[in-house]
Amino acid sequence: MKKNCFFMIYCLIATAVCFGQANFLRGEELFMQNRPNEAVVFLEISIAEDPAHVQAFLYLGIVYEQLDRTDEAIAAYRRILPRAGNLTAYVSTNLGNVYFNRGDNENAEFFYSQALEANPVFSAAFLGRANTRIRSRALREAVADYELYLALEPHSSKRPQIERMVAFIRSEFAAEERQRLLEEETARAEAERRQRLLDDLAASLLSAADDSRGLSTGAEDIEVYEGEFELE
């Protein structure tokens, strides 16, 4: 009797697992076919049945994004992120993408950086963070990220655009450096001109002082009497 009971429980669990997996597989199939309106139902059921199914959360987050349900996408990604394991870089990058599309540069850069902490060679995070840093005007840091992305993805279809972007930024750096040097040279020349003026004024004052040494009111001189004293 006890064996039969255990067998029945085992069968129920196995059936539930298979059914849950069936929902995920169907949701995955619809997701791959770019049918988000249909995929969302099966993926939601799948994570309800298995709250630790990272891949289901990833697909569901993307589906929510496709349906413009960004708040729900963020909630899904954040919910699974602490348990994402070897998919942490994917989840963090997707979160960065959502925040980037919202114009939230601070959170976007935070999650791209978190993705790179989990996987230092995750190229998509470098690209996302570079784009975010362009928006934030952190141009030098953006160039560094673009170059790391191209090193990881040398045959990327985005390479021509990135190289144009980097070349443009470098030309801006060069122009700023030329302007800085010009301003420094102008400031130096002005400082030298002012110093020459001060030197000339000081020299003229010194010359005037020298000329005034030959003039006297007489009060400071001692008069010498050259005659004889006569006593009466």
Lowest mean pLDDT among 15-19, 82-86, 204-208: 15-19
**Tokens encoding 110:** 């935070």
Whether the predicted pLDDT of 231 surpasses 50: no
Residue 135 sits at the vertex; the CA angle it makes with 132 and 136, to the nearest 5 degrees, is 90
DSSP state of 85: G
Provide long-range contacts, Cβ within 8 A and 24+ apart, for 86-90.
Answer: 87/54, 87/55, 87/58, 88/114, 88/115, 88/118, 88/119, 89/115, 89/116, 89/118, 89/119, 89/122, 89/125, 90/58, 90/115
pTM of the model: 0.69
Compute the Cα dihedral for 117, 100, 138, 174 and give only its sign. Answer: positive
Is 74 in contact with 98 (CB distance < 8 Å)? yes
Q: Would you list the domain boundaries of the chain?
A: 11-80
113 or 211, which is more confident? Answer: 113
- Look up the CATH architecture of domain 11-80: Alpha Horseshoe (1.25)
Q: What is the pLDDT of residues 2-19, one digit of tens each?
A: 444 433 333 333 344 444
Whether the predicted pLDDT of 159 surpasses 80: yes
For the chain, the average pLDDT equals 82
